[in-house]
Amino acid sequence: MTQSDDISDEDTRRHGIEQAKALRERARAGGLRFEAYLPPDLAVWLIDLIERGVFVDPGEAVFVMLTEQHDLEPHADLREEILRRSCQAAMDDPRSRISHDEIKAWWQRLVEMPRAEPAVWRKSGR
């Protein structure tokens, strides 16, 4: 990561904070609509859930999952336990270990690789 990347990240963060402040009252009155990108693994996982009838569409999934996250927010002990169990499961994973350098190289290739155009979910016209 270069210094210009750091500046860009900071500019992006600052812009997000300013936009959040500007939208707060409108969001309080009417909610918030936004677009989200899911990387392929998460996208297929979500599509599988929709195909199984767990959710009607991606918007419902985001609503339900963010509601669950919101409900967990005051329970730091439960969130820490979930994180601890997730980390332990990763450490107990019997698949071969990947070194830090291998992960860094994989991440760099991922960032630089051209991506296919993402699928776009369209709401039905009901």
Q: Provide the token pair at 88.
A: 């332990």
In the prediction, which pLDDT does 90 show?
Answer: 87
Q: Shortest CA distance to 37 belongs to which of 55, 51, 58, 19? A: 58
Q: pLDDT digits over 12-21, tens only?
A: 899 999 999 9
In the prediction, which pLDDT does 7 show?
Answer: 59
Q: Shortest CA distance to 65 belongs to which of 91, 40, 42? A: 42
In terms of pLDDT, which residue wins out, 103 or 65?
65
Q: pLDDT digits over 45-81, tens only?
A: 999 999 999 999 999 999 999 999 999 999 999 989 9
What are the residue boundaries of the structural domains of the chain, listed by start? Answer: 27-112
Max Cα–Cα distance, the chain, nearest Å: 51
Q: What is the pTM of this model?
A: 0.66
The CA dihedral of 90, 92, 95, 100, to the nearest 10 degrees, is: 50
* R_g over Cα of the chain: 19
In the prediction, which pLDDT does 6 show?
Answer: 54
